[in-house]
C-alpha cells in the first residue's frame, strides 16, 4: 500500500472512521509486510491483518490489527478468511523457523473478536491467558 491509498486510510483513521488501534501503519519497523494480508474491493482496501515481530517474545509473531470494513461485516466471514491467510503465510514462510509461535491479542470488550477467538482460535491454541493492564496519565498528577 502506497501513496494516495495510504493517505486515504490515514484520513479515515484520523477522522475516527477506523479505530487508531487497528491502524495498519503502527510500528512499521517491526512489521512483516510479506506476511501481512490486505483485501481490496473495487480498488479500495477493505480488510487487513498486519503481522509484526513480537518485541517481547523472540520466537513469536504478533497478529495485530485485524480490520474488516463495517459495510462488509456480514456472514461472509472476511475476518476468518484474512486471519487464515495470515496464518498460512506465517506457517509456510522461512520466518516460521525462527519465530514459530503466533500471538493474537483481543480486548475483552470486543465481543465479536472474543467470539472469533473462542470459536476459531482456542481449538488451535496451546496456551491462553488474560492480561490486565492499567493506564496512568501523568499529566493529571498534582
Residue whose entry in the numeric block shows the C-alpha cell 495470515: 86
- Closest to 39 (Cα-Cα) out of 13, 61, 10, 72: 72
> For the chain, what is the mean pLDDT?
83
**Confidence band (pLDDT; 50, 70, 90) for 130?**
low
Looking at per-residue confidence, does 74 or 65 come out higher? Answer: 65
For the cut 70, the answer to whether the pLDDT of residue 132 exceeds it is: no
Cα–chain-centroid distance for residue 141? 33
Distance CA 50, CA 67 (A): 9
**Per-residue model confidence (pLDDT) at position 71:** 81
C-alpha cell at 126: 496451546
**Per-residue model confidence (pLDDT) at position 1:** 60
> Where does 15-139 have alpha helices with state H?
78-91, 95-98, 111-116
Q: Is the pTM of this model over 0.85?
A: no
Distance CA 46, CA 62 (A): 21
The full set of domains in the chain, from first to last, is: 3-140 (3.40.630.30)
Amino acid at each position: 500500500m502506497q501513496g494516495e491509498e495510504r493517505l486515504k486510510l490515514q484520513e479515515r483513521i484520523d477522522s475516527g472512521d477506523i479505530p487508531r488501534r487497528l491502524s495498519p501503519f503502527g510500528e512499521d519497523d517491526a512489521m512483516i509486510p510479506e506476511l501481512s494480508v490486505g483485501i481490496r474491493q473495487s480498488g479500495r482496501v477493505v480488510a487487513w491483518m498486519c503481522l509484526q515481530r513480537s518485541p517481547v517474545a523472540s520466537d513469536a509473531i504478533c497478529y495485530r490489527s485485524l480490520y474488516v470494513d463495517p459495510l462488509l461485516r456480514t456472514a461472509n466471514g472476511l475476518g476468518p478468511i484474512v486471519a487464515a491467510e495470515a496464518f498460512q503465510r506465517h506457517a509456510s514462510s522461512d520466518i516460521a523457523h525462527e519465530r514459530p509461535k503466533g500471538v493474537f491479542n483481543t480486548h475483552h470488550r470486543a465481543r465479536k473478536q472474543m467470539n472469533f477467538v473462542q470459536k476459531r482460535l482456542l481449538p488451535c491454541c496451546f496456551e491462553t491467558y488474560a492480561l490486565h493492564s492499567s493506564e496512568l496519565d501523568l499529566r493529571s498528577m498534582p
